[in-house]
Structure 1
């Protein structure tokens, strides 16, 4: 066998075989025996968000300097970066000193991580400019891949100049080849666009809810060339189908669940779909889909603009995929007349006429009011006029009411402050309940959606439990106004800080350092490996029956201080422990879920689990950040009490995190969405897995910036993605991984399969692996990429793929059972 020599190294000198026992001086110019400087690798292949990696220099091309100490060697970077090194099995150890370079003074906010064969061997935690540098020493014996990762922790992309100072790799004395950097291809995301077809397809939800003795109207959403003919069997008495338009309408007097078979046909073929009609006073059994006028037009929203948008919702084909609710927003109100009746303003001369027009197109009519004296724009609210307003809304043909909480300085009856949790919750509950009861006394089904102000300014103990409140007042949809707009950081921060608060985590695993940050950012909840203050990773080893789990250093030979880490014994936990099997060993750069010790719960409560976590307890007197290495001690399995979880989303009860940021959007002025196509797919995938209402806010007349490649339309009309959102089971999404920046979310579907999203929130492509055991599957499972509309084949026990930066891979896993094919 011939070996290819690394061109920039003199291997005879590199592998001289000289033995040494003295720790090297990382600041000097003398290379330790059998070693190579990190900067001698092929640095152009390193992935960097900003600029290029600097060899033996800081990012600004100055001498590498940490805490006033100058280093002759190392690699300087501009922050977010990843260096993936193929070790070729010849490496023994990696050493470096890490930190934010002195050249940016107090600026900079990063974290460092070292991964060995996909497993985290070192994590620095958050490091800011001026913080003391940290020493890294990682055993590489037998390892194949080393990943050196820097992550930007703050919002700024610039000024995060960070160094791997004095970094070197020690090799085996007999090494004949040298490690080399492996480039990861930069990938981007675009939705696949299916060729147009004339054949009919029936879309929309497979379940619809309504009340007895109230008007029901539903136009079957169908794509395909016209003219179309419709047929329905199994309709309950009182409902009829228009065979030409596909409109099902009428009134049912007897409660019950009715299985209906729909058929749509044209000259090109025939489509069939089974749906369930539930006449049981249950509304919004799947998340609402539609368009918001106020999000696009603001205070200039008018009857004419809404009618035009409604026509475009139909003409664009969006209504044929299930988008059917038009929301006016806080823009239609005028004043109250002498009798207290709420009038529309001059931009809306005929509210009933507008409602009738929307219904004629097969759409639904949504308006806005407030549970306070005034709305957010100062218009009259419904407080004290609930019954009167509810009757008025029903007379106009309203199908959906957004009801906000908006205390104002103009109110004659001051409301409690948001920080006064108990008083505010009681006031909200009374006001929201009054309107819901008023709506139920009308002769019309009206979906009830409540909205509260952002609670960002409220400290955690005083935060209102909005989901619990919404459940008490029987709201169908609830939201916290969060200021979402088309900015990647705003949207991705919403995903990790807000949307995950109602996500079911199958097993709780949080590291000790994360607990202090868990309330402000779930990104800290990635501690499936415990850490001692000295940085020594520990892992839980599977135990034999009757034997407690044992935590040992992940690298038994060394600690981050360079000293041997003694083996430790762990007493048996107080709670019976069940081991979740460790996943298949990961390939380089793969995000996986390691084995975790989980206490066996005494009772099974849907959506609520008690968890255990492996905690590393510092030696007496040890403090975080000390320059004296802390003594590794035995981690203990400690139960973490979990607060009562909020009621999970499900049929008739959905959380609305904000509008979809696609196409030409209107905040602050009409412009193309600043989210890339990949970021838009990220949002659409997360909203669909989360079962969030899909509400558009774009210019429907100009959906696509490029008519030759209509990406916006392709994303909004991907029926495989929409089916995940509209799944009749309405199950809560599961957090398969709780780390950051790569998230894995899974959702059980009505047909027995799982929808799984592999999300990469970092600025670099990442390999992500999901293991079937995480959601109860095993063995060979078929995988389908729903964005690509492509069957990928059978995969044994897991699936791994490269996920683009700010991107997602959305798949369905498993075999559809019982002939159900939503």
Structure 2
């Protein structure tokens, strides 16, 4: 059937609208030449297992080497994985090298053997914002494989974290929490397989008798840790009422030993209100386990306690749970200045996980954030040096989502070794500028428009503590914008951002 002129016009209009609706991909494709990405520093405690996968983009096959690698560590030249143990405290300056048919590149890596781990913000995936209480071994393994298949590991994405609802009952040699055997039939085998990909594994627990998902927690009213599910009755969480309260008998030490035996690298420890005694107890247990485990506190850390909590934990949630809405995201990302003084390498303010891509807490759907709002989301989290934990279905990643997560110049802002949190430089109506000091002396600057129409946003060099001509680089587009004498301004879309790096012009 031949379309009528009117139908042809309508089809053309519909097609043009679809084209207009396509999100703008700003991130250039990585070059075929080798490029080493990710953090320039890594920490490990004396005697703990060390695993660092060199994140490098470029044409494969690729061969890796390292100059100055200390005794006790070895490098797999085909995969770029550094593993082993270092028994003595100290700092080792290593030069990494990646080579393919297009060329060779070198980059420094500082390995610090001491008491502080997670020297840059953790990057990875967490199951909750995608699967909620429906997580299982198959979904976890699929997420790990997707990280490798999409090449996210080549940009520094490392952790595969299992959230609430993995737990069964207590048992085993330590009388520790064992997995729900129907969901996770082989936790040790799962951890080994994920480590074999060069990635790391996280898990979830709570000092309460019962977790938010009504699974067994880290304490009990009896010494055996026997537990009966509270079922789906009225919620009493956050009220210090059993079973959502701390029990008489504590099992932190037993659980930590079990996690170390499985090969766990990250713990999300979740209850409310977060308090110092339980945090100190778990910190001590993890340190005694013989394995480095990142301790991340969730949720809504009391600000009045952060001075005592921050030395004990690697990350702490500064907010309640995020949702994939503009209102939820900007309120969590743009109101954290008061927390900044407590952040430093190994200790990070956490405004919650990322809600780009397919999210849905058990029923994944495309995020409700617009493309511009997603650029804002990734930009402000990177400026804050916040943990970057994906909450999406990694098996259903489109090109736009992948472009958000593979811009190495934006990720470098997040992974900068100083770990400074960006602070608000100026605010006029709903036009806000955040700036962050970087290790090389330059500044990362975000020009944000929280309003409902496009506006021009500007910043003067004197507001950044800079003087003289400054070179400006657009980080999302990876494009130099030239040297400017006094400041920078740009049109910014509604709910959007222009993210630049500013440094001395040469």
TM-score range normalised by the length of the shorter chain: 0.7 to 0.9
Deviations 1:210-258 (A, max 9, x none): 0111111111111112111111001111111111111101111121111
Contact 2:129 2:355 in 1 (8 A): no
Q: Aligned in 2, Cα 1:379/1:481: closer, same or farther, shift over 3 Å?
A: farther
1:404 maps to what in 2?
270
Unaligned stretches of 5+ residues in structure 2: 1-19, 220-249
Aligned with 2:477: secondary structure? coil
Contact 2:27 2:476 in 1 (8 A): no
Contact 1:214 1:444 in 2 (8 A): yes
Whether 2:390 is the aligned partner of 1:692: answer no
Partners of 1:285 and 1:483 lie apart in 2 by: 25
Q: Per-residue deviation at 1:744? A: 0.6
Contact 1:229 1:266 in 2 (8 A): yes
Q: Per-residue deviation at 1:300? A: 1.5
The one of 667, 675, 699 equivalent to 2:369 is 675
The one of 190, 194, 218 equivalent to 1:354 is 190
1:393 maps to what in 2?
259
Q: Per-residue deviation at 1:466? A: 4.8
Aligned with 2:500: secondary structure? strand
The one of 326, 340, 363 equivalent to 2:199 is 363
Question: TM-score by structure 1 length?
Answer: 0.54
Partners of 1:767 and 1:188 lie apart in 2 by: 24
Q: Aligned in 2, Cα 1:396/1:735: closer, same or farther, shift over 3 Å?
A: same
Whether 2:432 is the aligned partner of 1:743: answer yes
Partners of 1:757 and 1:766 lie apart in 2 by: 14
Deviations 1:123-169 (A, max 9, x none): xxxxxxxxxxxxxxxxxxxxxxxxxxxxxxxxxxxxxxxxxxxxxxx
Aligned with 2:342: secondary structure? coil
Whether 2:493 is the aligned partner of 1:799: answer no
Q: Aligned in 2, Cα 1:668/1:217: closer, same or farther, shift over 3 Å?
A: closer
Q: Per-residue deviation at 1:800? A: 1.2
Partners of 1:245 and 1:234 lie apart in 2 by: 18
2:224 maps to what in 1?
none
The one of 327, 335, 339 equivalent to 1:502 is 339
2:176 maps to what in 1?
341
Whether 2:304 is the aligned partner of 1:465: answer yes
Write the mapping of 1:633-782 to structure 2, written as runs, cut at 5 A: 647-667=341-361, 669-704=363-398, 710-782=399-471
Instruction: Specify which structure has the higher proportion of helix.
Output: 2
Question: TM-score by structure 2 length?
Answer: 0.86
Write the mapping of 1:175-254 to structure 2, written as runs, cut at 5 A: 190-195=24-29, 197-254=31-88
1:475 maps to what in 2?
313
Structure with greater contact order relative to length (CA < 8 Å, sep ≥ 6): 2
Q: Per-residue deviation at 1:190? A: 3.1
Q: Per-residue deviation at 1:188? A: 11
Q: Aligned in 2, Cα 1:501/1:214: closer, same or farther, shift over 3 Å?
A: same
Partners of 2:296 and 2:456 lie apart in 1 by: 39
Whether 2:295 is the aligned partner of 1:448: answer yes
Q: Aligned in 2, Cα 1:799/1:189: closer, same or farther, shift over 3 Å?
A: farther
Q: Aligned in 2, Cα 1:466/1:310: closer, same or farther, shift over 3 Å?
A: farther
Contact 1:187 1:805 in 2 (8 A): no
Q: Per-residue deviation at 1:282? A: 1.3
Contact 1:761 1:805 in 2 (8 A): yes
Partners of 1:194 and 1:289 lie apart in 2 by: 21
Partners of 1:702 and 1:331 lie apart in 2 by: 23
Partners of 2:432 and 2:122 lie apart in 1 by: 25
Q: Per-residue deviation at 1:718? A: 0.3
Q: Aligned in 2, Cα 1:191/1:779: closer, same or farther, shift over 3 Å?
A: farther
Deviations 1:29-78 (A, max 9, x none): xxxxxxxxxxxxxxxxxxxxxxxxxxxxxxxxxxxxxxxxxxxxxxxxxx
Contact 2:30 2:57 in 1 (8 A): no
Write the mapping of 1:40-55 to structure 2, written as runs, cut at 5 A: none
The one of 464, 479, 484 equivalent to 2:322 is 484
Q: Which moved more, 1:188-197 or 1:387-396?
A: 188-197
The one of 354, 375, 378 equivalent to 2:214 is 378
2:234 maps to what in 1?
none
CA RMSD between the two structures? 2.0
Write the mapping of 1:524-539 to structure 2, written as runs, cut at 5 A: none
Q: Per-residue deviation at 1:668? A: 6.2
Contact 1:399 1:445 in 2 (8 A): yes
Deviations 1:654-676 (A, max 9, x none): 11112212111124621111111
Partners of 1:295 and 1:430 lie apart in 2 by: 29
Q: Per-residue deviation at 1:341? A: 2.5
Q: Per-residue deviation at 1:196? A: 5.1
Structure of higher CA gyration radius? 1
Unaligned stretches of 5+ residues in structure 1: 1-185, 407-417, 419-424, 456-462, 504-646, 705-709, 818-822
Contact 1:681 1:715 in 2 (8 A): yes
Write the mapping of 1:572-583 to structure 2, written as runs, cut at 5 A: none
Partners of 1:447 and 1:761 lie apart in 2 by: 34
Q: Per-residue deviation at 1:294? A: 2.3
Partners of 2:442 and 2:112 lie apart in 1 by: 24
Write the mapping of 1:132-211 to structure 2, written as runs, cut at 5 A: 190-195=24-29, 197-211=31-45
Partners of 2:292 and 2:339 lie apart in 1 by: 27
Q: Per-residue deviation at 1:485? A: 1.3
Aligned with 1:724: secondary structure? helix
Aligned with 2:310: secondary structure? helix
Partners of 2:474 and 2:30 lie apart in 1 by: 20
Q: Aligned in 2, Cα 1:393/1:777: closer, same or farther, shift over 3 Å?
A: same
2:8 maps to what in 1?
none
Q: Per-residue deviation at 1:753? A: 0.7
Partners of 1:244 and 1:668 lie apart in 2 by: 37
Deviations 1:400-445 (A, max 9, x none): 1111125xxxxxxxxxxx5xxxxxx7xx211110111011111111
